[in-house]
Amino acid sequence: MTKKNIAILGSTGSIGKQTLEVIKNDKNNFNVILLSTNSNIKEISKQIKIFRPRSIIISNKKKFTFFKKKNKKIKIFNDYSCFEKIFSKKVDYVMSSITGFNGLQPTIEIIKHTKLLAIANKESIICGWNLIQSELKKNKTKFIPVDSEHFSIWKLTENNNHEIDKIFITASGGPFLNKKRRNLMNIKPKHAIKHPKWKMGKKISIDSATMVNKLFELIEANKIFNIDIKNIKILSHPNSYVHAIVKFKNGLTKILIHDTNMKIPIFNTLYNNQTAKIKSNDLDIKKLNDLNLNYISLKQFPSLRLINLFNYKKNSLLETVLVSANDELVDLFLKKKINFLDISTNLISILNLKEFKKLRSKKPNNLAQIMHLNRYVRLKTRTLCVRSNSNA
């Protein structure tokens, strides 16, 4: 195996750290060129000692200034406009794992500098897929989704000439799958972030508890695999052993299973069909004999009804409204300014506002347009929630 040159955007986050753990087990075959963080200089300092990248990016200005004064031997940049200075030729692999909207610009701008792009940033795919797709085609860059569900679909359909009939995405159901919705009014953030299967950050854990993350995944699957949203279904699966099921029009159905371990999809994107082995558990017959798959209750998770607002044939600015409003609502819940049920109730109300519903027919033209709308929607969401609480 020829040594691969690697760049990781968001190396101090969960996916970034797990990517480096995979690389650490096979350092002779990987050369880390670039690492980046917003402000976690303690973690990136550890990573620099182990992987010795040529360059790093620290986007927080105060942390950048502090770090630069103490580190003279490595190239340090403060934003993501530096790729031309870092890359003299295309690297073999980029992991895009910066969380939130902050990951959108770097994801789009690094495409021209890599042969393969692995994306673990939902916002990039949901809000800017048409922009990403255009750059991928223009620069002949390959793409692999990293989310366990979308990676599984990609793997199941890779090199398959048969037409897809239906896609089934599984959901653990989060911590409240079997609780009545009326009993969730007084749920506190500390309860909502306790995911039963996956160790994740607070934001994505809340999205799992509200099932909004599955709404996002429906939209992602629609965009990546170009399939009608009506043909993508969600099944609850508390064991998180099956990650995706694909039914083909030739009558065959394929299921992909793996441990609840994100290193497995990361490993496969890094090696991409090359001969390599990752340590994993033996086949769990007990889980296979009791998959416990069920359709999700829309009464329990009403935000999933919002999927009907989206046009599967077009990328639109309504996707940006969805992600932005949800970001703000989760933030308000974590700050205890709204209750748990307010997240989905307000999300539905905001998406149905006239000024936003009309965006269903408007395609994102550029990154600036998406970022401007993101700021406006978050402000509007915050204002509406504050006004609602003051009138309560």
Q: How many domains does the chain have?
A: 3
Indicate the residue among 94, 116, 146 that finishes a domain: 146
Task: Based on the fold, state whether residues 118 and 172 are members of the same structural domain.
Answer: no
Q: Is residue 273 included in any domain, yes or no?
A: no
Task: Based on the fold, state whether residues 344 and 294 are members of the same structural domain.
Answer: no
Task: Based on the fold, state whether residues 249 and 389 are members of the same structural domain.
Answer: no
Polymer length in residues for the chain: 392
- C-beta separation of 326 from 347 below 8 A: yes
Q: Return the CATH number at 322.
A: 1.10.1740.10
Indicate the residue among 274, 309, 344 that finishes a domain: 309
pLDDT score at 231 = 93
Task: Based on the fold, state whether residues 247 and 303 are members of the same structural domain.
Answer: yes
Other residues' Cβ atoms within 10 Å of the Cβ of residue 21: 12
In terms of residue numbers, what domain contains 386? Answer: 314-392
Task: Based on the fold, state whether residues 215 and 243 are members of the same structural domain.
Answer: yes
Task: Based on the fold, state whether residues 44 and 186 are members of the same structural domain.
Answer: no
Dist CA 272 CA 274 (whole Å): 6
Q: Is residue 184 included in any domain, yes or no?
A: yes
Residue 134 token pair: 């255009």
Task: Based on the fold, state whether residues 163 and 300 are members of the same structural domain.
Answer: yes
The dihedral built from the CA positions of residue 348, 353, 358 and 363, taken in this order, carries a sign that is: negative
Dist CA 112 CA 109 (whole Å): 7
Dist CA 39 CA 337 (whole Å): 26
Other residues' Cβ atoms within 10 Å of the Cβ of residue 48: 18
Q: Is residue 270 included in any domain, yes or no?
A: no
Q: Is residue 276 included in any domain, yes or no?
A: no
Indicate the residue among 146, 168, 185 that finishes a domain: 146
Average pLDDT over residues 385-389: 72
pLDDT score at 45 = 95
- The model's confidence at residue 182, banded by pLDDT at 50, 70 and 90, is confident
Q: Is residue 277 included in any domain, yes or no?
A: no
Task: Based on the fold, state whether residues 191 and 118 are members of the same structural domain.
Answer: no
Residue 343's Cα: distance from chain center in Å? Answer: 19
Task: Based on the fold, state whether residues 32 and 119 are members of the same structural domain.
Answer: yes
Q: Is residue 268 included in any domain, yes or no?
A: no
pLDDT tens figures, 291-312: 999 998 888 889 999 998 887 6
Task: Based on the fold, state whether residues 32 and 107 are members of the same structural domain.
Answer: yes
- The model's confidence at residue 157, banded by pLDDT at 50, 70 and 90, is very high
Residue 212 token pair: 């909004």
By CB neighbour count within 10 A (0-12 exposed, 13-18 middle, 19+ buried), where does 53 fall?
Answer: buried
Q: Which residues contact 307 (CB under 8 A, 6 or more apart)?
A: 215, 218, 219, 229
pLDDT of 392 higher than 60? no
pLDDT tens figures, 212-266: 999 999 999 999 999 988 899 999 998 889 999 999 999 999 999 999 899 999 9
Radius of gyration of the chain (CA): 21
pLDDT score at 387 = 67
Got the DSSP string for 308-356? GGS-TTS--THHHHHHHHHHHHHHHHHTTSS-HHHHHHHHHHHHTSHHH
Dist CA 364 CA 165 (whole Å): 29
Task: Based on the fold, state whether residues 300 and 156 are members of the same structural domain.
Answer: yes
Task: Based on the fold, state whether residues 365 and 299 are members of the same structural domain.
Answer: no
Q: Is residue 266 included in any domain, yes or no?
A: no
pTM score, whole prediction: 0.91
Average pLDDT over residues 100-114: 94
Residue 4 token pair: 């691969």
- C-beta separation of 92 from 4 below 8 A: yes
Largest interatomic CA distance in the chain: 64
pLDDT tens figures, 318-362: 999 999 999 999 999 999 999 999 999 999 999 999 999 999 989
Dist CA 295 CA 333 (whole Å): 27
